[in-house]
Amino acid sequence: MAKKLKKIGKMSVDNLLPGDILVFKGDPHDTISGLIMSLTGSDVSHGAIFVQNEDSVLAEAGLEGIHACRMKDDSTAREVYVMRHNKAGKNGVEPVVPFAKNYVLQDLPYPFSDLILLGLILIFRQKVTSPIISRTVSEFLCLVAAELKKIIEEKNTPGKHTMVCSSFVYQCYLDASKKHPALKLKIENGDVGFKDHPLIGRKSKSKSVTLFDMYANYVESHEDECKKDFKAKKLQPAKKLRSKEEILADLKKLLSKKSLDKIPEITPETFTILLEVINAIKDVIQALATFLKGDRVSFSEMMKVAREQQSMFVTPNDLVKNVTNATNVGMIKVNRYGDYYDANWKE
């Protein structure tokens, strides 16, 4: 069961230990950040790892890649949760630090943007009681697929591990756990954690269904058709879409009306829209599989990759509320400053 956060006092960067997980409160005025917080029921939208006390350095995944930055206390900045692993010693969690530094130095491809994080949360999130049938959702997922396709075109490096902020944190601990098993971050009831949810149309006590369940159910009923369509259509340029700002504004309105819980009457019109959503989900999953495995991925591999993503994708909220072997030891207010610190680690 996810823990309830206690009232914790303020800290300074001087109190941090290497390996501390820093989870930044989000900006409610930023549309994507606000939607991520809304879908995860949290006040956070970014995660990083504190890596060294000298110069007070953190490592994080951002729009320009995975980098290290200096930081300093700033009373005007937004608050940051400091999560400390239960196995941290007086010098922190030292085995995690080399992995964080190595990712900084690897020159990894362009990381998943917050837009893609938002799309995956929407597709794989757990607490949906009915399928979302909306042109807005379909158009938004087309936007997410287009973002993934752009990354594929710019950095065609399948197999290289690229991450959003929170999965970067998780991955560093996962790498360290290969030699120190107790260091693996244990996440219960994660925001996009994979569970065997019932597919739509099957009798079950559980009413919780995800958009991926909806897509998987459609695939089960139309497997030959889906395989044929998959073979016929490799990644195509995105269709003409409205602006990102317009689509996100409509998505925000849709979610604010709690439309996730409304079950529309299935008419020829709504069924057509449902198919649009299913095709948009397929485009995102196919682009995701192509990015991770290359353009020779098969249909069955695509579905497998999609399911695997659910278990490995970690949200900022997971790092605060759903990790059971790390504790919130305080809050800090910090700002980054200066150039990237990466060069200081190069030989």
Burial pattern 47-74, b for ≥16 Cβ within 10 A else e, equals bbbbbbeeebbbbbbbeebbbbbbbeee
pLDDT at 111: 65
- Give the strand pairing for 79-85 and 65-73: unpaired
211, amino acid identity: L
Nearest alpha carbon to residue 66 among 160, 159, 165, 167: 165
* Lowest mean pLDDT segment, chosen from 76-80, 234-238, 281-285: 234-238
Q: How many domains does the chain have?
A: 1
Q: Over 50: is that where the pLDDT of 100 sits? A: yes
pLDDT at 62: 82
Q: Containing domain of residue 99, as a range? A: 13-345
Q: Over 70: is that where the pLDDT of 222 sits? A: yes
What confidence tier does 312 reach under pLDDT thresholds 50, 70, 90? Answer: low
pLDDT at 2: 47
Given a contact cutoff of 8 angstroms between Cβ atoms, the answer to whether 143 and 247 are in contact is yes
Instruction: Confirm whether 296 is domain-assigned.
Output: yes
What confidence tier does 48 reach under pLDDT thresholds 50, 70, 90? Answer: very high
What confidence tier does 335 reach under pLDDT thresholds 50, 70, 90? Answer: very high
pLDDT at 194: 46
Given a contact cutoff of 8 angstroms between Cβ atoms, the answer to whether 32 and 307 are in contact is no
Question: What does the pLDDT average to over 97-112?
Answer: 83
Question: What does the pLDDT average to over 175-189?
Answer: 91
Instruction: Confirm whether 284 is domain-assigned.
Output: yes
pLDDT at 131: 65
pLDDT at 232: 58
- Give the strand pairing for 21-25 and 79-85: antiparallel
Higher pLDDT, 129 or 116: 116
Count the neighbouring beta carbons within 10 Å of the beta carbon of residue 266.
10
Q: Over 50: is that where the pLDDT of 205 sits? A: no
Instruction: Confirm whether 5 is domain-assigned.
Output: no
Instruction: Confirm whether 1 is domain-assigned.
Output: no
Instruction: Confirm whether 322 is domain-assigned.
Output: yes
- Give the strand pairing for 57-62 and 21-25: unpaired
Higher pLDDT, 149 or 208: 149
Angle at 186 between CA 307 and CA 110, to 5 degrees: 55
Which residues neighbour 190 within 8 Å (Cβ) at sequence distance 6 or greater?
A: 314, 315, 318, 322
Instruction: Confirm whether 6 is domain-assigned.
Output: no
Whole-prediction pTM: 0.81
Alpha-carbon separation of residue 108 from 47, 63, 161 (angstroms) = 18, 12, 7
pLDDT digits (tens, 9 = 90+) for 60-99: 988 778 899 999 999 999 999 999 999 999 999 999 999 9
pLDDT digits (tens, 9 = 90+) for 252-272: 888 776 655 555 565 666 677
Instruction: Confirm whether 242 is domain-assigned.
Output: yes
Instruction: Confirm whether 3 is domain-assigned.
Output: no
Only one residue has tokens 């930044």, namely: 24
